[in-house]
């Protein structure tokens, strides 16, 4: 399962498709956690497009890189990425949250192929990722463990317990990616519980810290994740992504978007915006002389 080299265009198109499939999936249900799904779409494209060594034919392959999405409500976006990557058929996305589904609102490792840890109660996935990294080190496996947490999630004390412990254990096979979209359910992170600088806090906790100015920029994400995967200096690595909650779903920009009703009109508007974005990508790709 060697890592495939992808072009930036390929990853951008992959991100666009993850976004499109996620919106379709949520629209088929009529509502969902749009905001937190949209803000990690480009991250998922880089992770599943080239960074994570995984095998869709063998989701439990022992040497795979592990991904724990601690902000478990982003499940629908992860399911879209997994389906596009071949872990299960795309049609299955329309079973989201239906009775007996393998794709529940919050992620369940016992139900969904490719999901490495059950999450949903915020903060807990960070500890689980730390435990997985500790176990991987005990077993001398070369895989990486990657945890994705929200910035609002960092209100949870458990995140900081885990941060302290991971640094004390020197888990340099662990990368914590924080989706810093500056919003949580009840408002902005400043209004609800000011977090200050997550970078400074994590540095003070003994982590190597990288910042990504634009968490929707594929080149910036690639560079940061590459550095995180290769930076073996006895410290865990945190990557703080500056993102936009609801990014790429126009209706999300008009009000609170943590959990939204997805009307047919808003859905059509989003599909149209994505078609235009796809056209822009194609034109840019052609202008740059890239071939498919």
Tell me which residues touch another protein (CB under 8 A). 68, 108-110, 116-118, 120-121, 123-124, 126-136, 138-139, 157-158, 161-162, 164-165, 168-169
- State in angstroms the smallest separation of the CB of 127 from another protein: 3
Least separation in angstroms between residue 139's CB and another protein is 7
Nearer of residues 27 and 33 to another protein, judged by Cβ: 33
Pairing relationship of beta strands 208-212 and 237-242 according to DSSP bridges: parallel
Burial class of residue 203 in the structure, from the number of CB atoms within 10 Å of its CB (0-12 exposed, 13-18 middle, 19+ buried): middle
Select from 23, 36, 34, 82 the least CA-distant residue to 57.
82
- Least distance between another protein and beta carbon 121 (Å): 5
Q: For residues 171 and 130, give the distance between their C-alpha atoms in angstroms, rounded to a whole number.
A: 8
Q: Pick the closer one to another protein by CB: 40 or 115.
A: 115
Handedness of CA 140, 146, 151, 157 (dihedral sign): negative
Q: Find out whether 56 and 10 touch, Cβ atoms under 8 Å.
A: no
Q: Which residues contact 13 (CB under 8 A, 6 or more apart)?
A: 278, 281
Q: Which is nearer to another protein, 105 or 169 (CB)?
A: 169
Rounded to a whole number of angstroms, the minimum distance from the CB of residue 133 to another protein is 8
- Supply the minimum distance, in Å, between the C-beta of residue 106 and another protein: 9
In terms of CB distance, is 86 or 131 closer to another protein? 131
Helical ranges in the chain per DSSP H:
8-29, 34-38, 41-46, 75-85, 124-138, 157-168, 189-193, 198-204, 218-230, 264-287
Q: Which is nearer to another protein, 18 or 162 (CB)?
A: 162
Length of the chain measured in residues: 292
**Could you tell me the smallest distance in angstroms from the CB atom of residue 273 to another protein?**
36
Q: Rank residues 134 and 227 by Cβ distance to another protein and give the closer one.
A: 134
């Amino acid at each position: 399962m060697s890592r495939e080299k992808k072009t930036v265009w390929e990853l951008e198109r992959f991100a666009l498709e993850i976004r499109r499939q996620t919106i379709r999936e949520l629209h088929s249900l009529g509502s969902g956690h749009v905001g937190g799904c949209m803000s990690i779409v480009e991250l998922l494209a880089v992770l599943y497009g080239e960074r994570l060594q995984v095998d869709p034919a063998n989701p439990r392959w022992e040497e795979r890189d592990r991904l724990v999405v601690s902000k478990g409500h982003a499940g629908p976006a992860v399911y879209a990425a997994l389906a596009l990557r071949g872990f299960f058929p795309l049609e299955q996305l329309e079973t989201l949250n239906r009775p007996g589904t393998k794709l529940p609102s919050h992620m369940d490792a016992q139900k969904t192929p490719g999901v490495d840890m059950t999450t949903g109660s915020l903060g807990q996935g960070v500890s689980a990722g730390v435990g997985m990294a500790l176990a991987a080190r005990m077993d001398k496996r070369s895989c990486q463990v990657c945890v994705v947490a929200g910035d609002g999630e960092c209100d949870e004390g458990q995140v900081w317990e885990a941060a302290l412990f991971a640094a004390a254990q020197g888990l340099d096979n662990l990368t914590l990616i924080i989706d810093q979209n500056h919003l949580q359910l009840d408002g902005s992170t400043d209004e609800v519980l000011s977090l200050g600088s997550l970078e400074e806090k994590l540095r003070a906790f003994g982590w190597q810290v990288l910042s990504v100015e634009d968490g929707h920029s594929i080149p910036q994400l690639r560079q940061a994740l590459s550095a995180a995967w290769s930076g073996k200096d006895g410290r865990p690595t945190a990557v703080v992504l500056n993102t936009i909650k609801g990014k790429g779903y126009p209706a999300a920009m008009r009000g609170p978007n943590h959990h939204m009703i997805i009307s047919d009109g808003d859905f059509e508007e989003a599909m149209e915006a994505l078609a235009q974005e796809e056209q822009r990508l194609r034109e840019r790709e052609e202008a740059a002389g890239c071939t498919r």
